[in-house]
Amino acid sequence: MNRIRFLFLSLATLLFTILAFLFFWTRYTSLRELGIDYYLMRAWGNTLTFIYGIKREVIVDENADTNSIGIYVAPHSSFWDIIILGSELKGFFVSKREVIKWPIVGLGAKFVRTVFIDREKGVSALKTLERAGTKTFESGHSLIMFPEGTRSYEHMQDMKPGPFYISIVTGKPIKPVIIKYIPRTSIVPKKKGSFIKELISQSVTAPGTVAIVELLEDIYPMGYSSADEFKTHVRAIMDKHYNNL
């Protein structure tokens, strides 16, 4: 059964990558207003969670603004984070450049407006992110970022300052998101491995796993003297909500 589900996952990912390639040209025409690449990413996520029987529960904080444009930040523990958040949030991901080399997934990510950055370039990477972020905001979409910079079993590692710097520079709010799996052990690996090995291990997921996604109140950058101060405040809020779920 697990092999069959993994086969369907692979075929569905290949199909949506092909569709994203076929509609890639629309972003350079007036059809970009339709957001076809966004809807393809949403359909991909819904299809895969259906195949694996993962149930989703979305909680929207009473003060959350789901229509505002900003920078979603979320903890990162599993490849399923990308699949689920990509189908729940109106935005495009920021990813490390190495993802382009991943089989099928890398091409699919490129065709749905993923912003790739070279983390080794420091200030240059931030400038690239700033330009790409501004363009994404102007198109009516948000950025989706994992500020830890890598996956981790424990919630949460220290955050990188990138998304908070972009928030301060552009004035766009940070939009914190919590994602929690129950049971966590069925979907989050304790040790990081190669892309293929980890994808296979995480695809062996028991039906009935619940993914709880909580959208928190927007946090604007005014009043913070630095990106580090800003991220410390946001981290404290996210930790509190995560522990209360």
DSSP letter for each residue of 12-29: HHHHHHHHHHHTGGGGGS
CB 104 within 8 A of CB 19: no
Within 8 A by CB and 6+ apart from 112, the residues are: 20, 37, 38, 40, 41, 92
pLDDT averaged over every residue in the chain: 83
d(CA 143, CA 28): 19
pTM higher than 0.85, yes or no?
A: yes
What tokens were used for 22? 């076929």
d(CA 95, CA 99): 7
Percentage of the chain lying above the pLDDT 90 cut: 23
CB 57 within 8 A of CB 162: no
Average pLDDT over residues 122-144: 82
d(CA 150, CA 152): 7
Instruction: Count helices and strands (H / E) in the chain.
Output: 8, 7
The string of pLDDT tens digits covering residues 1-29 is: 667 777 787 888 888 888 888 888 887 77
d(CA 145, CA 87): 14
Average pLDDT over residues 52-63: 89
Q: Any idea which fold 2-244 has?
A: Glycerol-3-phosphate (1)-acyltransferase (3.40.1130)
d(CA 14, CA 111): 12
Question: Does 83 or 197 have the greater pLDDT score?
Answer: 83
The helix/strand/coil state of 230 is helix
The string of pLDDT tens digits covering residues 138-159 is: 888 899 999 887 777 777 788 8
